[in-house]
Structure 1
Amino acid sequence: MKFPRKSIKLGLTTALVSLGLSTAAMAQDYDWPRLLVIGTPGTSSGSFASTNGWGPTLQKETGTTVRIVPEDSEPMRYKRLTDREDIAISSLSASEMAIQTEGVGGYASAKPMPQRILWHHNDTPWGFVVAGDSDLQTLGDIAKGGVRVTSGVFSPAIVTAITKALPAFVGLTPEEAEEKITFVPASSYGENCRSVVEGKSDVAYCSPISSVLSEMEGAPGGIRWLAMDPENKEGWNGYLNYRPMTIPTKISLGVKTAQGVDSMTSNFVYAVSETADVDFAYNMAKWLHQSHDAYKGSHALAARMSVDLFREYLDSNPIPVHEGTVKYLREIGQWTDEDDAWNNAAVEQMDQWIAARQAGMKEAMEQGVQINFENEAFLEIMAKHTAGLMVFRSRL
């Protein structure tokens, strides 16, 4: 089943009115698909909840039947979008989209297929938090040594951020970090964050939208956040060497102590297959923008889907945007010739990864090597074909 297409035209304006569609939807003059399937992470995720927030509005205004499908398995959602094509849109983190393209980990044996960004979904801010009475005033103070930093061993991504990316930001090599920083293990996210108000650590890596941070703000002495200077290009380049899809940002979401602090964000996007119809992508982008006021109150994360936040995200985004979305953004003055330059480069970069991985799989099949991400012989072939390719990395 291919998406998105529509086999039956809705017909005259009177018929549209009888279906209860808005005049704004009628003015779009577009035949929406009869069924629009959107894949998200599981039912407990903000992505699922927020998509269920705006989906009914889209259905009401356009007449398309919107079905939100929770699919916890990222590889399966990727396959359903690009290969099986039984979902039209997928909600995922931009970093996940990058590693899907690059064939990292379990994706090494997944069928390489290109994707495009349709729209910005939400942004999750992250930062480095300390107790309110901490002697640490800047991140640079960590480089002086004698500092305890919590390492959330429950999450490989957090371990990388703490033991490699943070030291690089403050000018320390991993070896120097081992000498100057005491890494305090934490077995859960809550333990990780609370460590600074419980006196077990000096610095923790947390998201200010987490409920535990509200609790920590009320602790004796409160909490503070250490800013990541956006002008520190050397520090940011070092950080991105280990966390390449992080986006520098000024925090505008979450607990009060974090508001206005220069830090970083991890962004979720809505993705479509590279082959998605241009008119569909154009009209989805148009609806997501023009109807934002109608659905932004349906969920806190839906409020992060404004064109202004999308435009801000595009200033750092390294992933290609679908040409239908580009067409609409250019039409409303939110896309420039400079955007064409980086987007064309991103398309070429993705094409290079897809072609290299396809060639690697072809060689593996010809040699009778099992295509499996746990097969070292297969991984060696893939590494040979992808050698020298640049990983996707936020643009500073």
Structure 2
Amino acid sequence: MKNVTSLASGAVTALVLSLGLAGGAAAEDFEWPRLLVIGTPGTSSGSFASTNGWGPILQKETGTTVRIVPEDSETQRYRRLTDREDIAISSVSASEMRYQIQGIDGYSQTKPVAQRILWHHNDTPWGYVVAGDSPVKSVQDIKNGGVRITQGVFSPPMVSAVTVGLPAMLGMSEDEVAEKIEFVPASSYAENCRSVVEGKSDIAYCSPISSVLSEMEGAPGSIRWLDLDPSDKEGWNAYLAERPMLIPAEIEMGVKTARGVNGATSNFVYSVPATADVDFAYNMAKWFHESFDAYKGTHPLATRMSMDQFRKYLNRTPLPVHEGTVKYLREIGQWSDEDDTWNNKAIETMDAWIAARQEALKAAQEQGIEVNFENQEFLDLMKEKTAGVENFQSRL
């Protein structure tokens, strides 16, 4: 018997759960755990709200007691999943999962543990918006010069997206960027987006599901979205070098002006440790699929947990999928030999990162180097040990 989840919160000091699963148990005789703890971002997040939508239905249909634990700290939620093991499933962005596996920033000092995708959770669409009467009709017009682009200085990833990623997609050199683009700083997300309807900027990087975009769409002249051609693989590869976990996709959610336009999505997944029981993962995947109609109306983001959305994500993700999920998908004809090829490569890449980071931690201990993400000597050692390991990047 293997302990896979426990809960330590408030008045509950310790609840250690054993799944008690026999290897190879058939779905019909699967015994659900007495307690299933799922970690999500904080209470104000869509991930927390949508998980609280389907959790009670899983509890009612299977008899397992479901606990949704909000954990704002991404590093702490990672530790609870992989080290403390007091949550069984984590809702995490694919971008964050890459940081966790590759030991980027604060994760450099955490215990390296391999993870797997259990199921797709949700996706947030992103795109480049302009005023309805803007002379900028295409992202290619940026190369003509005289274009102002807002950079949200409150978010480093958003800054890199517009100052490095977008010019790289267009094949612009640093000199061309300096000559032809004026970057307009914005101190908040709302200010960033509103800049195009207020005449302060020509282009802003925004999500069409944000309430501020509804306000902008209703403004005089309305707004338009610039298409990011999914067939431009060279451009997308350059863009993804800066934002590697974004997925090229047609925008399906949010304001009407954005729908049908090609943009990008940032995906959240439900992850589990690679060692999670195969039968547990198999039956969770089966439940997510077969009970979709029962929970899809509990929260708008729950609609993004369909088999169709998961399959689209599987066509692009560089992250490995759990063996139990693969087993179920194969049974229902949603997994192919081609999927085995990329998934096996993803597993090899993750294993390489885990091994390299473990070697770095061992070397640091032997050499008396402090394991701290603010210690440059340790970071240099980590860089040396992980050199040559392939970065995770969305598949085109």
TM-score range, shorter chain: over 0.9
Q: For 1:244 and 1:174, how far apart are their aligned partners in 2?
A: 20
AA of the residue aligned to 1:317: T
**Contact persistence 2:4–2:19 (CA under 8 A):** no
Identity rate, percent? 70
- The residue number in structure 2 matching 1:97 is 97
How far does the alpha carbon of each residue in 1:221-277 deviate from its partner, in whole angstroms, 9 at most, with x for none?
000000000111111011011011110000101100000001100000000001100
Cα displacement (A) at 1:388 = 1.2
Q: For 1:312 and 1:8, how far apart are their aligned partners in 2?
A: 31
- The residue number in structure 1 matching 2:118 is 118
- The residue number in structure 1 matching 2:213 is 213
Q: For 1:391 and 1:276, how far apart are their aligned partners in 2?
A: 24
Match runs of 1:169-184 below 5 Å: 169-184=169-184
Cα displacement (A) at 1:27 = 7.5
AA of the residue aligned to 1:354: I
Q: Does 1:294 align with 2:294?
A: yes
How far does the alpha carbon of each residue in 1:187-220 deviate from its partner, in whole angstroms, 9 at most, with x for none?
0000000000000000000000000000000000
Q: Does 1:273 align with 2:286?
A: no
Cα displacement (A) at 1:28 = 3.6
Match runs of 1:54-69 below 5 Å: 54-69=54-69
How far does the alpha carbon of each residue in 1:267-300 deviate from its partner, in whole angstroms, 9 at most, with x for none?
0000000110000000000000000000000000
- The residue number in structure 1 matching 2:310 is 310
Cα displacement (A) at 1:175 = 3.6
Gaps of 5+ in 2: 6-16
Match runs of 1:240-259 below 5 Å: 240-259=240-259
AA of the residue aligned to 1:197: V
**Contact persistence 2:4–2:276 (CA under 8 A):** no
Q: For 1:325 and 1:177, how far apart are their aligned partners in 2?
A: 45
- The residue number in structure 1 matching 2:142 is 142
- The residue number in structure 2 matching 1:13 is none
Match runs of 1:1-396 below 5 Å: 2-3=4-5, 5-6=18-19, 28-396=28-396
Q: For 1:267 and 1:7, how far apart are their aligned partners in 2?
A: 32
SS for the counterpart of 2:216 is: helix
AA of the residue aligned to 1:374: E
CA gap 1:169/1:7 in 2 versus in 1, 3 angstroms: closer
**Contact persistence 1:353–1:386 (CA under 8 A):** yes
Q: For 1:280 and 1:269, how far apart are their aligned partners in 2?
A: 17
SS for the counterpart of 2:353 is: helix
AA of the residue aligned to 1:196: V
AA of the residue aligned to 2:242: Y
AA of the residue aligned to 1:112: P
AA of the residue aligned to 1:52: N
AA of the residue aligned to 2:164: K
How far does the alpha carbon of each residue in 1:289-330 deviate from its partner, in whole angstroms, 9 at most, with x for none?
000000000000011100110000110000000000000000
**Contact persistence 2:131–2:222 (CA under 8 A):** yes
**Contact persistence 1:163–1:174 (CA under 8 A):** no
Q: For 2:312 and 2:92, how far apart are their aligned partners in 1?
A: 18
AA of the residue aligned to 1:105: D
CA gap 1:188/1:373 in 2 versus in 1, 3 angstroms: same
Q: For 1:98 and 1:134, how far apart are their aligned partners in 2?
A: 37
TM-score by length of 1: 0.94
**Contact persistence 2:169–2:235 (CA under 8 A):** yes
- The residue number in structure 1 matching 2:13 is none
SS for the counterpart of 1:2 is: strand
AA of the residue aligned to 1:188: S
SS for the counterpart of 1:257 is: coil
**Contact persistence 2:118–2:281 (CA under 8 A):** yes
SS for the counterpart of 1:91 is: strand
AA of the residue aligned to 1:259: R
AA of the residue aligned to 1:304: R
SS for the counterpart of 2:142 is: helix
Count of residue pairs brought into register by the alignment: 380
AA of the residue aligned to 1:212: V
AA of the residue aligned to 1:284: M
**Contact persistence 1:143–1:171 (CA under 8 A):** no
How far does the alpha carbon of each residue in 1:103-130 deviate from its partner, in whole angstroms, 9 at most, with x for none?
0000011111100000000010000000
TM-score by length of 2: 0.94
Cα displacement (A) at 1:8 = 11
Q: For 2:72 and 2:292, how far apart are their aligned partners in 1?
A: 27
